[in-house]
Structure 1
Amino acid sequence: MELFGVPIVTVYLYGLIISGILTFIYVLFADVLHVDTGDGGLHFLNPVLVFAFMTILSASGYLFERLSSLHSLLILAISAVIAFILVTLLNVFVLVPMSSAEESLAYQESDLRGRIGTVITPIPADGFGEVLIESASGRIAKPASSFDGGEIANGTRVLVVQVKDGVLQVTVHQENESFI
């Protein structure tokens, strides 16, 4: 079969090359070209999904044309179904979870309240020291001052009472003793 005087195999091959190049360019410049549609947009018209659909359609159409003797319209229909299924799976299992995932391991200073840390630089009565807070995602070292106004020695376990202007206000942590 021919389309505009060009064999359909060539059309599929050109479609594969062009959609592959456009996908690659979009991946490189997605942040610059991204338009946020908000909650009411047409999410199935996401350029990643459109380019993936065209790439899969062209690739499967090319392979079916080269390797089978089916009619070209049947090959187009089969390729469209394959592309639709794979793009749906891509959207459901990759793109949607990635869009709802956390963007970074950033934290808010208000999240540090109530956390227990270790003094790594002694805190004088009227000055600043440094406290190390460990978590599953890493370690955070922040400047600290004494909430009670007393000195706190190096290596002491402390409780973060509040955070003011990026400085932790801490007090000595009293570990609970177990009762027998």
Structure 2
Amino acid sequence: MYWSLLWGSLAIALISILFQGVLGGLLESVFDIFGDFFNPVLLFGTLSVVGGSGVLLTKYTAITEFYVLAVSILIGLCAYFVIYYFLVIPMSNAESSTSLSMKDLEGKIGEVITTIPNVGMGEVYISTNNGSYSEVAASFDAAEIKQGKRIVVVEVKEGILLVSEME
């Protein structure tokens, strides 16, 4: 039982790492309810610890199967909380020095690469010290902005840049 738990959970953890985009979408609704606390890789990693400790306790101790199961679950829970509080939380709070928030684009100057209609969206190119960005944009003034025109980002709303033509 412990061997199948060990190898099965390791396989699921590896598959979820390799196919994170596909499985992330499938499991997202289930795990989003609980936030990062029930991260699938963390959960299946913990099941691997339970399986591994069960294998080792069964082989190298003389305690009964009930106590092996109880101690294995306890070891798994301890591993889960240690990994969660010392790795997952600090990593989720860490900031990358090269990352750029959409709000940081407010006030930046760029160029229209796809014409922005008066009602609708186009695309703009903005170059910053951290790199170049091609983002979806709408006209702040509800006026058409032709391709090649210089713009300024006035506001960011719901992930869309609201821009005005520079005159």
Normalising by the residue count of structure 1, what TM-score does the alignment of the two structures yield?
0.51
For structure 1, which runs of at least 5 residues remain unmatched after alignment? 1-10, 113-132, 134-138, 143-163, 167-180
TM-score by length of 2: 0.54
Q: 1:61 to 1:140 in 2, by over 3 A?
A: closer
Alignment match, 1:47: 40
User: Which whole-Å CA distance do the structure 1 matches of 2:21 and 2:130 have between them?
Assistant: 29
The separation in 1 between residues aligned to 2:24 and 2:9, in whole angstroms, is: 18
Q: CA RMSD in A?
A: 3.4
- 2:21 and 2:92 map into 1 onto residues whose CA distance is 13
Between the aligned residues of both structures, percent identity stands at 26
User: How far off its partner does 1:97 sit?
Assistant: 2.1
More helix by share: 2
Select the structure of larger CA radius of gyration: 1
- The alpha carbon displacement at 1:53 in A equals 1.7
- Decide which of 82, 98, 101 is 2:94's aligned counterpart: 101
Which residue matches 1:153? none
Paired with 2:131 and 2:78, the residues of 1 have a C-alpha distance of 48
Code of the residue aligned with 1:57 in structure 2: it is: V
- TM-superposed CA distance for 1:92, in Å, is 1.1
Residue 104 of structure 1 deviates from its aligned partner by 6.7
**Match for 1:15 among 5, 26, 31?**
5
Summarize deviations over 1:125-166 as a string: whole Å, max 9, x none.
Answer: xxxxxxxx9xxxxx6689xxxxxxxxxxxxxxxxxxxxx747
Residue 60 (structure 1) aligned to one of 53, 60, 71: 53
> What is the alpha-carbon distance in structure 1 between the residues aligned to residue 131 and residue 21 of structure 2?
32
Write the distance in 2 (CA, Å) between the matches of 1:82 and 1:61.
Answer: 9
Cα drift, residue 110 of structure 1: 5.0
* Corresponding residue SS for 1:102: coil
One-letter amino acid of the counterpart of residue 69, structure 1:
A
